[in-house]
Amino acid sequence: MNDMTSVNDLPADIDPIWAGDGSHLPEWFITALRVPREEGYVEITGAKVHYFRWGNRDKPKLLMTHGFLAHARCFAFIAPFFAQDYDIVAFDLAGMGDSEMRGSAGAAARGKEFVEIAEALGLFADGHKPTIIAHSFGSGAALTAVTQSPDAFAGVVVCDLMIMRPEMLDGYWNKERSSPGSGNPDKPNRHYPTYEAARERYVLSPPQPVAEPFLLDYIAYHSLCREEGSWTWKFSPEVFRRSNKPEEWLTMGKRLVQAPGRKAIVHGGNSMLFSQDSADYIRDIGGNDIPIITIPEASHHLMLDQPLAFVATLRSVLACWKSSPEYEQQC
């Protein structure tokens, strides 16, 4: 198989606006997007929730979600690698991607979203307990979910969640920003006359180069939508109407260690948000039984830096859990 491919019938996700003729895209990416999937919406408390689904409905369940202001397509080229052995759902958090905003944007409401989408799509049927795989902000919400509903999930894989010793976190905030993920909920999203003008404004947080620029183009394109002859961001400004209290982040390490059930941490070797000191801190506060796996040459956005290494790491974690004695009761 060639490393690169030029095809005429590209998957729908590969729009010429960002991908041109697709000749620079690697075969693995195109093949992943061709894996059969269901795309749809379910209505929860009067609002539409957008999701993708791959795999076999009779298999163990995986529930995937993304970081702040991102969307489920962060896993659209990751999830297909699990389709043979799992039933996988990746969903847009409320007010992000193509999901409508609903209810509160606070931590408790975010945690409930995991149970709500799992119930709506039948992931709990026949005693199944989904395993959550979440990135960054989504990981924090996932920890809330398993704490709220300790018997509902088989485990959670936390992917590059910001965890630092409190004194380190204070220094990071003072240096980098006043408040992580801050924004004005009363200010409408800006409109841009062209896609190119909007794309120029798309940046990652924290800022970083990416090893696979075509993946950044893909994520950026699907973060935008056409509206009244212009381009604007998909996310709702309402997502900023959240408590975002500093203590929520200052205690994140303890929350992770104390969260019930199986947990694993996957992080980038070059991440600004989870370092070797973060791993040491987790051990210091009692998380000696939590696997912590580093992906070399990856920064915070693992799927954009080392997507295939990210897949391999997740596969390894799931395989280890699958071989454990309690697996049959949990899946």
Residue 37 dihedral angles phi and psi, to the nearest 5°: -145, 155
Total Cβ atoms within 10 A of residue 70: 27
What pLDDT is stored for residue 325 in this prediction?
56
Query: Quick check: pTM over 0.75?
Result: yes
Mean pLDDT confidence for 34-58? 97
Q: 291 and 302 in contact (C-beta within 8 Å)? A: no
Percent share of the chain, pLDDT over 90: 83
In the predicted structure, residue 155 carries a pLDDT above the cut 60: yes
- CA separation for the pair 135, 128 (Å, rounded): 22
What pLDDT is stored for residue 3 in this prediction?
39
Collapsing DSSP states into helix, strand and coil, what is residue 227?
Answer: strand
pLDDT digit string, tens, across residues 291-300: 999 999 999 9
Could you tell me which residues come within 8 angstroms of residue 122 by beta carbon, excluding any fewer than 6 positions away?
Answer: none
Residue 270 dihedral angles phi and psi, to the nearest 5°: -110, 15
Specify the amino acid at residue 289. D
Burial of 111 (0-12, 13-18, 19+ CB in 10 A): buried
In the predicted structure, residue 326 carries a pLDDT above the cut 70: no
What pLDDT is stored for residue 175 in this prediction?
64
- Which has more confidence, 177 or 168? 168
- 93, 131, 203, 298, 303 from 188: Cα distances, Å: 19, 36, 18, 34, 29
Confidence of residue 243 (pLDDT cuts 50, 70, 90): low
Total Cβ atoms within 10 A of residue 168: 14
Confidence of residue 5 (pLDDT cuts 50, 70, 90): very low
Could you tell me which residues come within 8 angstroms of residue 260 by beta carbon, excluding any fewer than 6 positions away?
Answer: 146, 147, 150
Mean pLDDT confidence for 18-30? 96
Mean pLDDT confidence for 122-137? 97
Bridge partners, residue 37, by sequence: 54
Mean pLDDT confidence for 15-34? 96
pLDDT digit string, tens, across residues 101-113: 998 888 999 999 9
CATH architecture of 35-182+239-330: 3-Layer(aba) Sandwich (3.40)
- CA separation for the pair 220, 201 (Å, rounded): 10
What pLDDT is stored for residue 247 in this prediction?
76
Q: What is the mean pLDDT of the chain?
A: 92
Closest CA to 57 of 73, 36, 76, 72: 36
Mean pLDDT confidence for 252-278? 97
What pLDDT is stored for residue 169 in this prediction?
86
Confidence of residue 327 (pLDDT cuts 50, 70, 90): very low
Residue 159 dihedral angles phi and psi, to the nearest 5°: -110, 105
In the predicted structure, residue 20 carries a pLDDT above the cut 50: yes
